Structures are given as structure tokens and as C-alpha cells.
Structure 1
Amino acid sequence: MTELHIELLAEPLWPLLNKFYRRHDSPMKALKGGQLWVARHNEIVAGLCLSPVVGGQWLTGVFVDPAYRGQGLAARLIRQAVAPAQGTVWLLCHPDLEGFYAGIGFSQQTVLPQSLAERLVRYKRNKPMIAMGLGQLG
């Protein structure tokens, strides 16, 4: 049995993350211009995207294969991906996920860059959403 590896996905392999999302009927998409991080166990079993925004990074597309959930994989993947990030890492999520992200160190006590604040307003028209941020550690 092969080990689980977390890695930054090389740009030529970016379509593999979108294929992973589609295979699981996820509406998520890998954003161009960002960093795509994946966890692999032979094939991709989890992924996320970090995109540059003013003052930091925007975390999107966090998704774990249902067969790998409940093992702390999402938290491991996020921690490794954001460790080298400069500035604040922000995310927009459903309020039900607040406890999960708070456990990693994210907080609603954050000031969003204008681009994300505008996006949050748009998203909230259709569904409940909150913004959270993770400042530089250490």
C-alpha cells in the first residue's frame, strides 16, 4: 500500500484536480493563477486552491474524497498548503464549517480585501456564508 503524499501540483497537471472534482460531482474548480495542492494515495484524494489576493491568499476548493474523510486529511492538507503563504489566508464558507476551520486557526475576526468582501456580498444573496482568516503564524 502506498503512502499518502501532500504536494504542490505542477501546472501541467492542473487538469487532474478538476477531473478529481468532477469525478465526485463537486462544483469546485481549480483557479488559474493560484497554487493547487493535492493529497495523493496513488491518485488524488483531496485538493485545494490558494489564489493571490491583496494582502494574502484566498483558499478555495477544499475537497476530500468521501472514502478519506474523518481522518484529518483536510486539516493536514490546509496546514501544509498555507505554511509558506505570505500574508493572511482567507476563505469563504458555510457557517456549519466554522468549527472545523476554527480548529485549524481560522477566525471570523478578520478584515477582507475589497475583492473578497464584494464576493462575499454576492455569495450571501444565494446562501449563508461567512468569511474567516488565518494570519501569519510564528
Structure 2
Amino acid sequence: MADFRFCLLEPIKTPLVNKFYDKNNARGRATKADQVWVVYKELEIIAACRVQDQSGQLFLSTLYVDEMWRGQKVASQLLTAVADAQKGTVFTFVYQNLIDLYLQNGFNYALTLPNSLQSLFEVYAHRKVVAMHFTRDTVPS
């Protein structure tokens, strides 16, 4: 099993994740206001995502795993690490081909969205995405 390191990136290192996104032609740009989560294999970023504050709502976006590392549960482990670190509900918009991945990692379909995210969803709807959410289980396991 590969030795991956999952971590929340310091805001000053935000340009590193944008270089990763650019190298892989991934949509989206991280800002220093985002929670930027990365997966390192040794010193190289092999996956990343962002959690943004959208008018008080947590919004997960730009989850991307380098093609060379796909199929090794990197996305699942990153989703778990990110979700475990949040308090409250995390929303995301998921491409059709990735719905099962999110369902397997504790996300459910969002039947309604807060107003700020509803307007954002309308912007992205042409990409054939589905609104989903993850809510931290408050009952200790």
C-alpha cells in the first residue's frame, strides 16, 4: 500500500495546489480563504480538494486525484479526512459518474439547498451535476 499523507494545507501554500490543478487541467482555483486539503505521496501532491465558505455554508469543490493514483481509494480517504474535520453539513455538486463514490463515503442526495447554494447550483446545472451533502453524525460511534 502506498504511503499517503492527508493534510490541510497552510494558506501560504495555496499556490502549490493551484499548480497541481493547472498541471492536471482541473477546473477551479483555490484561494487563501478556502480550506485546501491535499494528499501527498512523498513530496508530491497527488490529490486535492477545497472546502469553501459559501455564505455560511460549507461547500466541497474541485476534488481531483492525479490519474496515476486513481483506483487506490485516494479520493475516498480524502473525502473521509475532510468530512471528519468539519462541523456541520458539507454540500457538494457531484458529476453523474461519481455519485456512487460519494454515496459510499457517507454523502446523501440534497433534496433542498440553502439559497446561496441553490443559485450556485443553477450556474453548474448544465454540467449535469447532482447536489449532495454530508452531515457529521453527532452520536459517538
Q: Which 4+ stretches in 1 moved above 4 angstroms? A: none
* Equivalent runs, 1:90-109 vs 2, <5 Å: 90-109=91-110
Secondary structure of 1:132's aligned partner: strand
- For the residues of structure 2 that align with 1:96 and 1:109, how far apart are their CA atoms? 17
Equivalent pair of 1:57/1:86 in contact (CA under 8 Å): no
The reply to whether residue 19 of structure 1 matches residue 19 of structure 2 is yes
Partner of 1:73: 74
Greater alpha carbon shift after TM alignment, 49-58 vs 110-119: 49-58
Q: For residues 69-95 of structure 1, what are the alpha-carbon distances to aligned partners after superposition, in whole Å with 9 as ceiling and x for unaligned?
A: 000001101111121211101001222
What code does the residue aligned with 1:7 have?
A: C
Structure 1 residue ranges without an equivalent (≥5): none
Greater alpha carbon shift after TM alignment, 110-119 vs 68-77: 110-119
Partner of 2:132: 132
The reply to whether residue 33 of structure 1 matches residue 39 of structure 2 is no
What code does the residue aligned with 1:20 have?
A: F
Equivalent pair of 2:107/2:132 in contact (CA under 8 Å): yes
How far the C-alpha of 1:111 sits from its partner, in A, is 3.0
How far the C-alpha of 1:52 sits from its partner, in A, is 1.9
Q: For residues 10-47 of structure 1, what are the alpha-carbon distances to aligned partners after superposition, in whole Å with 9 as ceiling and x for unaligned?
A: 11110000000111122232144120000001210000
Structure 2 residue ranges without an equivalent (≥5): none
Among all aligned residue pairs of Structure 1 and Structure 2, give the percentage whose two residues are the same amino acid: 29
How far the C-alpha of 1:109 sits from its partner, in A, is 3.9
TM-score, with length taken from structure 1 = 0.90
Q: For residues 95-136 of structure 1, what are the alpha-carbon distances to aligned partners after superposition, in whole Å with 9 as ceiling and x for unaligned?
A: 221111001011114432111111111221x32111001111
Cα distance change on mapping 1:131 and 1:25 into 2, 3 Å: same
Aligned residues: 136
What root-mean-square deviation, in Å, do the aligned CA atoms of Structure 1 and Structure 2 show? 1.7
Equivalent pair of 1:39/1:46 in contact (CA under 8 Å): yes
Partner of 1:53: 54
What code does the residue aligned with 2:79 have?
A: I
Equivalent pair of 1:109/1:132 in contact (CA under 8 Å): yes
